[in-house]
Amino acid sequence: MSLYFILLTASGAVPLLLSFDKRLQFYKQWKYVFPSILLVALVYIVFDVNFTNLGIWGFNPEYLSGIYLFSLPLEEILFFVVIPYASIFLHESIREYFPKLEIPKSINMALTIALIVLCVLIAVFNIDKSYTFYISLKLAVALLLALFLNSRIPRSFFITFIVILIPFLIVNGILTGSYINGEVVWYNNSENLGLRVFTIPVEDFAYAFSMILYNFLLIEQLIKWKSK
């Protein structure tokens, strides 16, 4: 079993088992969660394949199973299912126990607009850095979509993401070279800002936030369509 697969198993096993907890009953949301995860994953995988082929990032075969699909390691494809599931589960678990955990609407609006402006500025001034440009615009679009849909999700997600960052720092830290010899995933620093938190490129934080936010927005819409 590859190191990457071990990390995915460790990340997904507990949330999957606790999905059947009597209080949470998260499995009842699967009809919304899994379609969302698969649709968002499809978009992110397409860009992942392209960026891998362009050498913007790549993978160390020493820590992989050796099975590839669409030029991506099998583990990388599973990443787009396991990590969003674990993150959504953690968010929903926090919300179950702390249902009033939200920032005020006015602060949410100000923070969202500020982040959109920041993302656009970063993208404009880093057109030559593919990863920075790509993820800045992707996050800006996700936040704009949240505003357009008048979604309440960001009001709690801005808070729960801070908790999600704890396992993120551990898992992504290992993937990018913390605690191991070399890296599971390597990055071409000429295509990003070259700024890292420990071994994690700062763009990865925006990557995680945007991917999970897209999932929440889609889940929210699926629930609304189902209730009509």
The pLDDT tens digits for 155-202 are: 999 999 999 999 999 999 999 999 899 999 999 999 999 999 999 999
Tokens matching residue 227: 């209730």
pLDDT of residue 172: 97
pLDDT of residue 168: 97
- CA–CA dist 28, 196 (Å, integer): 38
Inter-residue contact 150 to 222 (CB < 8 Å): no
- CA–CA dist 10, 214 (Å, integer): 24
What average pLDDT score do residues 14-27 get?
96
Inter-residue contact 40 to 214 (CB < 8 Å): yes
> With bands split at pLDDT 50, 70 and 90, how would you rate the model's confidence at 226?
confident
- CA–CA dist 105, 125 (Å, integer): 30
What average pLDDT score do residues 208-214 get?
98
End-to-end CA distance of the chain: 45
Q: Taking all residues of the chain, what is their mean pLDDT, rounded to a whole number?
A: 96
The pLDDT tens digits for 59-95 are: 999 999 999 998 999 999 999 999 999 999 999 999 9
Which of 200, 109, 125, 97 has its CA nearest to residue 158? 109
pLDDT of residue 106: 96
CB atoms within 10 A of CB 9: 13
What average pLDDT score do residues 82-109 get?
97
Burial of residue 179, with CB atoms counted within 10 A of its CB: 0-12 exposed, 13-18 middle, 19 or more buried: exposed
pLDDT of residue 107: 97
pLDDT of residue 227: 77
What secondary structure does DSSP assign to 35-81, as a single string? HHHHHHHHHHHHHHHHHHHTTSEEE-GGGS-S-EETTEEHHHHHHHH
> With bands split at pLDDT 50, 70 and 90, how would you rate the model's confidence at 219?
very high
pTM above 0.85, yes or no: yes
In this predicted structure, the answer to whether residue 133 has a pLDDT above a threshold of 80 is: yes
